[in-house]
Structure 1
Amino acid sequence: MSLNHAGEDRIRSEVRGPSRRSVLAGIGGGLFAGLAGCTSLGSPEATDGSGGSDGGGDDGPVAVASFFSFYDFARKVAEGTPLTVRNLVPTGLHGHGWEPNASVTRDIIEADAFVHVGEDFQPWADRAIQTLKDDDVDTQLINVREGVELVELAASLDPEEEGVGQGRGKDPHFWLDPRRAKVAVDNITDGFAELLPEHEDAFRENASAYKADVLDRIDRDYRDIFDRAERKVVQLAAHNAFQYIGVRYGVEMRPLVVNLAASGDVKPSDITEAKRVIDENGIRYIGAGVFETRKPAEQLVAETDVEAYFPVTPYAGVREDWVEQGWGYEEIAYNINMPTFEIVLGNRAPEEVGGDGWAERWRNFE
């Protein structure tokens, strides 16, 4: 069942549930132990992913986000208001496939709002939401995916590949499309306006400016890159997370890992198919996922005419140096994805993109 700020089954109701303190005390021994047993990675304290919290401060209202992209949108919407926004995913980890320990659920219970990606994408977030529902905790839920039109998983695959697993269901990676990302910004804005109605004007002004000044500009610049390309096929040594860019801009994205998990296995048949695509399209450069293993990309460089790989990311996490520079969705688009797409499409030579030293720094990066 879908949850959003306006639904009848929202956690936040006119009759407030038990205090967060009492819920934490009452369920700590059983539920949290069970959650910890389901996870594989520890979770440090929630980080904002930008080198500092945004908003009012520790004593004011706090919203936590389950995914970097939407943390970044949320902090832009909350700018100049008392609302602090924090990113739950630690620096250096991919937001999809990460399994935190129980401390993250505790952070969500203690927060005033939880910005999440919708059900069936992050299992740990689904479990945390169920905990809030079961215990009638008044943390407000903000589903960024509400009202977003999702594409079929097979939308940009060859017809003969449909129905073999990846052809079923919907692709959740909608935020890579800047136009669909605007819907997420609107959902966040509506949720924050309900949480702090006295700051609604500021939230809506911030959102309007971000959509016009950032997301619309990214959309135009992506369109320019793909319109200038003579080749309409991109080979990525990455998981299946880039189809929305392909659908929006009329290019075929060929992921090496055909499932949706960044930790998915690369089968010999995947390598064989990638080699065919590379050979038939005369591909000299490919993209490789920043937060994924580089071994398949290295194999393609060694066994095909590919000369090098360069970075791509679905905005699912941040590196330490990106945090230090305060990078968000906008900066990652312009400093990572766009230069790589220029190269892999054959629009420009590596040394011509990204500024001084970019190609040397990112060519066959480790």
Structure 2
Amino acid sequence: MTVTKRSVLGLAACVAAGIAAAGLVGPQPARAQAEAPVEVVATTGMIADAARAVGGDLVEVTALMGAGIDPHAYRQTRTDILALANADLVVWNGLYLEAQMEEFLLDLADRGPVVAVAEALPEDRLVAHDDYEGRFDPHVWMDPRLWSGVVEAVRDALVSVAPEHEAAFAANAEAHLADIARLADYADGVLASVPEGSRVLLSAHDAFNYFGRAYGFEVLGIQGISTESEAGLARMEELVDLLVSRDIGAIFVESSVSDRNIRALIEGAAARGHEVVVGGELFSDAMGEPGTYEGTYIGMIDHNATTIARALGGEAPERGMDGRLAAGT
């Protein structure tokens, strides 16, 4: 499903007011070919990273959501509305990741180039949503090979607004895709070293289904695919039983989700005489801090694969694929 196939019957009053305040009256003019960089606004850090890698010096990219931000709950601010209105291109994940922004973004697509890049992926490669028919798990970046298709969609979106730079975008995309392929090969190796009986990844919410499918891990989330869902007492008791009965010794916190439920599980297992430790912090819905290696897509997945492998009994270099991870990973 793409934004061009979606119709929006109307905006909520607050969104309509925001658009009016931003000066969005009628269709916006197409980008003029110029020496100025292409102004790109991306919702998440992962998509912004792809746009920077593909666009290089020819683009100027703004990410709305930084480190530690939960995209499921994020709502656009007035500053965001202005940035989105003035962009040459807006790229967002789609698949209902940016749930609180979706109506606004779909309406904005009637006024200029706005592309839900994850929705370019074939549906047969997506994980179906457990609770909603016709919807899919949006966390596609957790499988580097699948994410390559999103990078290609970003490339195509950039070409659509700046066709004069098509050759440069294609060359940059090819180089970035080669880096992603090398990352996927690294993850294959270190995660395969985890003993089969230990390949259980339990974290705060169901952000790792694509990871589990790609690398043969059973994935368990305290909350559902969206962090907006709540974990009930029965669910917590079920997970404590699982930790004890299967002798699982490590679970993981997420950088963009509260660790309250994880700590409750550890305490629940301890009350049953079973020790569980935090295996590390994983990047789920957001990357690391800007300017760091972990603040790139390659560094994010390198960190996750390395942390998971080492915590669950596998073999991986402490500093990751190229020795660039922060000490203590």
Matches within 5 A, 1:3-82: 3=3, 31-32=17-18, 59-81=36-58
Q: Which letter does structure 2 place at the counterpart of 1:328?
A: T
Q: Which letter does structure 2 place at the counterpart of 1:284?
A: G
* Alpha-carbon displacement from aligned partner over 1:211-232 (angstroms, at most 9, x marks no partner): 11x2111211221123222225
Residue 93 of structure 1 contacts residue 318 of structure 1 at CA under 8 Å; is this kept in 2? Answer: no
Which residue pairs with 1:273 in the alignment?
238
- 1:360 shift after superposition: 8.9
Which residue pairs with 2:296 in the alignment?
328
TM-score by length of 1: 0.72
Which residue pairs with 1:317 in the alignment?
286
CA distance in 1, matches of 2:160, 2:20: 33
- 1:300 shift after superposition: 2.4
CA distance in 1, matches of 2:161, 2:169: 11
Which residue pairs with 1:161 in the alignment?
none
Residue 95 of structure 2 contacts residue 138 of structure 2 at CA under 8 Å; is this kept in 1? Answer: no
Match for residue 104 of structure 1 among 80, 83, 87: 80
Q: Which letter does structure 2 place at the counterpart of 1:228?
A: S
Matches within 5 A, 1:296-311: 296-304=261-269, 305-311=275-281
CA distance in 1, matches of 2:149, 2:225: 22
Query: In 2 relative to 1, CA 277–222 (structure 1 residues): closer, same or farther, beyond 3 Å?
Result: farther
Match for residue 61 of structure 2 among 72, 76, 85: 85
Check if 1:152 corresponds to 2:128. Answer: yes
Match for residue 345 of structure 1 among 295, 305, 312: 312
CA distance in 2, matches of 1:192, 1:129: 18
Which residue pairs with 2:26 in the alignment?
none
Which residue pairs with 1:141 in the alignment?
114
Q: How many residues align?
A: 300
* Alpha-carbon displacement from aligned partner over 1:42-94 (angstroms, at most 9, x marks no partner): xxxxxxxxxxxxxxx9953201001111111111001132x211101144312
Matches within 5 A, 1:210-359: 210-212=176-178, 214-230=179-195, 231-257=197-223, 259-304=224-269, 305-314=275-284, 316-319=285-288, 322-325=289-292, 327-335=295-303, 337-348=304-315, 353-354=318-319
Unaligned ranges ≥5, structure 1: 10-26, 36-56, 155-164
Query: In 2 relative to 1, CA 58–110 (structure 1 residues): closer, same or farther, beyond 3 Å?
Result: farther
Q: Which letter does structure 1 place at the counterpart of 2:17?
A: L
Which residue pairs with 1:47 in the alignment?
none
Q: What's the Cα RMSD here?
A: 3.3
Name the SS of the counterpart of 1:323 in structure 2.
coil
Name the SS of the counterpart of 1:79 in structure 2.
helix
- 1:30 shift after superposition: 5.2
CA distance in 2, matches of 1:318, 1:131: 28
Which residue pairs with 2:156 in the alignment?
190
Residue 285 of structure 1 contacts residue 343 of structure 1 at CA under 8 Å; is this kept in 2? Answer: no
CA distance in 1, matches of 2:132, 2:100: 23
Name the SS of the counterpart of 1:64 in structure 2.
strand
Residue 115 of structure 2 contacts residue 157 of structure 2 at CA under 8 Å; is this kept in 1? Answer: yes
* Alpha-carbon displacement from aligned partner over 1:259-317 (angstroms, at most 9, x marks no partner): 12224322212222222222232221111111111122222222322033411122x22
Residue 191 of structure 2 contacts residue 305 of structure 2 at CA under 8 Å; is this kept in 1? Answer: no
- 1:166 shift after superposition: 7.3
Q: Which letter does structure 2 place at the counterpart of 1:292?
A: V
Aligned residues with identical type, % of pairs: 21
